[in-house]
């Protein structure tokens, strides 16, 4: 006699029905499964499942609790199994009769991949860098054949999110609505780029700090200061630094993220991640490795050079320098290692520079730097095809790849990325990328630079210029109309000849009136964000900063006094009569108290200008004073 639990949601007049389902959990005592119905099928033969059927999957996020008969035939990996053998997060083709499951057969995820569909649980969704990372609940990546690979994660990238169709629980959604723990399907195009992603709520994350640890039990203090006790089954995947680790790695005081799922009286644990503080990369260096001390977790190097905007700049440090390795990084440096070391550094919690990643290079015949557009980023074959180079450049996990201040994986390098690439010529004739700094386009913050004569000021509310010229690189365009701009007491900065003044002193009456004075104004959305009395400049120059004169730093390398003069070598000056750029061997620019600085689309001060920055300078025909400086740095 069958023991059944009827569920009307799947009954169809007592007929035999076939469904593709995603099993999230099982209840052995009540003999039910908790599952997401993906497709209704006209057949029970898995071999008939084709790409067209798979592409029709649209996850609705609606779960069914379905009863399984006592004599249900269950096949897992083509072997006859029992109900207790069904694991969480399994795809199965089921036969349903009179609202009860009578047959179940597991579906290998490889079938989905052959149809161009990749599935898994969302580990990370990064819309800024354009990628998602998945894993299997058993800790492996998105292909069973890759379970023994170095990383248990698989990352899929996209170049333009507007070209990706996104679903969440069956409805069109924004990519930001997909969360860690969601079950997802991803469809890729022939080039390996993501074109569709469909997700559904599955696991939800619990964040907290381990207060006590027992026999597979964790007591967690959550962010709201409440406590929760969670049993962690022995087969639960545990990760740290994107690597599978053991239960023993969880320590009291660790910050953790636990993905869990609740169904009736069950709690299913999907994953435990030992959290680490992500360190922003401040600089890329190369140097000669002198020694490595495992006890102090530090290295000694000589001949340090900083990579900035495609140039290796020598650091003015005599002798050897000790660099501390970040607590979250354990480099694999062999005993007695020597040679060139490439390093990414970032600040730790105390504000000191630490090495967050390094790679060794001993077999290079020579080095070089390229600035080029990546035509084809083939991470599978570890090859980069560049626009201006005939032969490919190799890159892999050992390459330091930097984008938006973060280290990324090779698969996150996209076609059409523009990058500075530091390379080594190898003995076998190949060229290897040691460092890839992807050049992010300057954020359009909506600033425009105008210059005009002040006709009146509505104190702390607005200012009006009687006419103005707008800077349209590399020329000024005159507009013979009045323009009124809002003054924001919380945002507007005003600089007079002696430096910044209080907005309360910016008025058109009294002895210190600004009426009829000509000023530069940085305008954003109708507001005057910065006003400067710097003189009018009609000469435009550009180049790379080679030297900062007058800068002073403290013992922690923090700037105490910014530069007073910039030296630019191999620059250019614009000839507006001929509309051409003319080369200049060396140029010198003095900085004033009211010089306007814009770097990477943001208002900054002189302390943010760095060696190797690419700058555009507005100055006068007479003298070396820089009135406005636009700087870019990558």
3-state secondary structure of 269: strand
The 8-class DSSP code of residue 98 comes to T
Q: What confidence tier does 167 reach under pLDDT thresholds 50, 70, 90?
A: confident
> What integer best gives the mean pLDDT of the chain?
84
CA distances from 128 to 157, 195, 251, 375, 471 (A): 11, 17, 32, 21, 31
Find out whether 269 and 236 touch, Cβ atoms under 8 Å. Answer: yes
- Dihedral, 21, 23, 26, 30 alpha carbons, nearest 10: -20
Q: What is the pLDDT of residues 349-358, one digit of tens each?
A: 556 788 999 9
Find out whether 140 and 146 touch, Cβ atoms under 8 Å. Answer: yes
- In angstroms, the CA 464 to CA 472 distance is 21
Q: Looking at residues 551-569, what average pLDDT do you find? A: 82
Q: What percent of the chain has pLDDT over 70?
A: 88
Q: What percent of the chain has pLDDT over 90?
A: 38
The vertex-440 CA angle with 520 and 197, nearest 5°, equals 130
Find out whether 194 and 187 touch, Cβ atoms under 8 Å. Answer: yes
Mapping DSSP onto H, E and C, the string for 295-350 reads: CCCEEEEEEEEEEECCEEEECCCCCCEEEEECCCCCCCCCCCCCEEEEEEEEECCC
Cβ atoms < 10 Å from Cβ of 596: 23
* 406-407 and 364-378 strand pairing: unpaired
Q: Looking at residues 62-66, what average pLDDT do you find? A: 77
Q: What is the pLDDT of residues 219-266, one digit of tens each?
A: 988 867 788 889 998 888 888 776 778 898 888 778 888 888 765 566
Find out whether 345 and 352 touch, Cβ atoms under 8 Å. Answer: no
Strand partners, 268: 261
- In angstroms, the CA 45 to CA 23 distance is 19
Please give the pLDDT value at position 329: 81
For the chain, the helix, strand and coil percentages under 3-state DSSP, each to the nearest 5: 5, 55, 40
Q: What is the pLDDT of residues 568-610, one digit of tens each?
A: 988 999 998 899 999 999 999 999 999 999 998 889 999 999 9
Please give the pLDDT value at position 443: 64
Find out whether 539 and 570 touch, Cβ atoms under 8 Å. Answer: no
Please give the pLDDT value at position 23: 87
E strands, 47-110, in order: 63-76, 79-81, 90-97, 100-106
3-state secondary structure of 85: helix
- Phi and psi dihedrals of 55, rounded to 5? -70, -15
pLDDT reading at 370 higher than 90: yes
- In angstroms, the CA 618 to CA 574 distance is 10
Q: In which element (H, E) is residue 475 found?
A: strand 475-479
How far apart are the two ends of the chain, measured CA to CA in Å? 72
pLDDT reading at 143 higher than 60: no
Please give the pLDDT value at position 137: 59
CA distances from 587 to 227, 314, 544, 547, 574 (A): 64, 21, 10, 11, 13
The 8-class DSSP code of residue 243 comes to E
pLDDT reading at 151 higher than 50: no
Q: Looking at residues 268-272, what average pLDDT do you find? A: 82
Find out whether 523 and 491 touch, Cβ atoms under 8 Å. Answer: no
Q: What is the pLDDT of residues 462-502, one digit of tens each?
A: 999 999 999 999 999 999 999 999 998 888 999 999 999 99
Length of the chain: 634
Please give the pLDDT value at position 87: 83
Please give the pLDDT value at position 3: 33
Please give the pLDDT value at position 554: 67
Q: What is the pLDDT of residues 494-545, one digit of tens each?
A: 999 999 999 999 999 988 999 999 999 999 989 999 999 999 998 999 999 9
């Amino acid at each position: 006699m069958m023991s059944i639990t009827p569920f009307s949601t799947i009954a169809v007049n007592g007929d035999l029905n076939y469904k593709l389902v995603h099993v999230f959990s099982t209840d052995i005592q009540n003999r039910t499964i908790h599952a997401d119905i993906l497709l209704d099928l006209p057949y029970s033969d898995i071999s008939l499942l084709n790409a067209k059927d798979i592409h029709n999957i649209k996850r609705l996020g609606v779960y069914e609790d379905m009863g399984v008969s006592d004599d249900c035939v269950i096949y897992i990996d083509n072997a006859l199994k029992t109900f207790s053998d069904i694991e969480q997060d399994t795809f199965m083709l089921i036969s349903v009769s009179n609202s009860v499951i009578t047959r179940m057969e597991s579906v290998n995820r490889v079938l989905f991949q052959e149809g161009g569909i990749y599935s898994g649980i969302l580990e990370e969704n990064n819309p800024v860098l354009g990628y998602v990372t998945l894993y299997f609940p058993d800790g492996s990546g998105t292909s069973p054949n890759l379970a023994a690979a170095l990383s248990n994660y698989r990352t899929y990238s996209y170049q333009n999110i507007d070209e990706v169709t996104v679903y969440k629980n069956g409805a069109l959604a924004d990519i930001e609505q997909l969360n860690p723990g969601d079950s997802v399907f991803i469809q890729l195009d022939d080039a390996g780029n993501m074109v569709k992603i469909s997700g559904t709520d599955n696991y939800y994350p619990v964040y907290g700090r381990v207060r006590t640890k027992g026999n597979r039990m964790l007591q967690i203090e959550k962010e709201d200061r409440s406590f929760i006790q969670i049993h962690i089954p022995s087969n639960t995947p545990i990760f740290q630094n994107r690597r599978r680790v053991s239960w023993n790695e969880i320590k009291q005081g660790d910050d953790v993220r636990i993905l869990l799922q609740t169904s009736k009286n069950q709690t299913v644990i999907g994953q435990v991640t030992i959290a680490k503080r992500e360190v922003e990369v401040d600089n890329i260096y190369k140097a000669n490795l002198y020694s490595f001390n495992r006890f102090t977790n530090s290295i000694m190097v000589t001949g340090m050079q900083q990579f900035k905007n495609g140039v290796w700049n020598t650091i003015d440090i005599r002798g050897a320098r000790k660099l501390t390795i970040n607590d979250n990084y354990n480099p694999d440096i062999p005993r007695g290692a020597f040679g060139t070391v490439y390093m990414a550094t970032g600040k730790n919690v105390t504000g000191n520079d630490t090495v967050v990643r390094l790679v060794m290079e001993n077999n290079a015949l020579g080095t070089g730097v390229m600035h080029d557009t990546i035509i084809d980023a083939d991470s599978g074959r570890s090859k980069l095809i560049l626009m201006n180079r005939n032969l490919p450049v190799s890159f892999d996990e050992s390459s330091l790849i930097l984008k938006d201040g973060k280290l990324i994986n090779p698969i996150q390098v996209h076609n059409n990325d523009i990058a500075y690439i530091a390379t080594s010529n190898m003995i076998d004739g190949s060229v290897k990328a040691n460092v890839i700094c992807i050049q992010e386009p300057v954020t359009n913050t909506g600033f425009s630079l105008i210059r005009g004569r002040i006709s009146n000021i509505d104190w702390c509310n607005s200012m009006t210029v009687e006419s103005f010229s707008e800077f349209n690189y590399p020329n000024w365009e005159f507009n013979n109309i009045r323009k009124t701009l809002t003054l924001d007491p919380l945002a507007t900065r005003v600089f007079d000849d002696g430096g910044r003044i209080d907005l309360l002193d910016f008025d058109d009456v009294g002895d210190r009136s600004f009426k009829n004075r000509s000023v530069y104004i940085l305008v954003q959305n109708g507001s005057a964000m910065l006003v400067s009395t710097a003189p009018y400049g009609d000469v435009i120059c550009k180049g790379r900063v080679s030297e900062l004169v007058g800068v002073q730093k403290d013992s922690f390398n923090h700037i105490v006094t910014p530069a007073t003069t910039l030296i630019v070598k191999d620059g250019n000056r614009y000839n507006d009569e001929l509309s051409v750029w003319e080369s200049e061997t060396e140029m010198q620019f003095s900085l004033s108290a009211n010089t306007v600085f814009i770097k990477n689309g943001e208002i900054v001060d002189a302390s943010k200008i760095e060696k190797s920055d690419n700058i555009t300078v507005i100055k006068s025909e007479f003298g070396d004073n820089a009135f406005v400086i636009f700087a870019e740095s990558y």
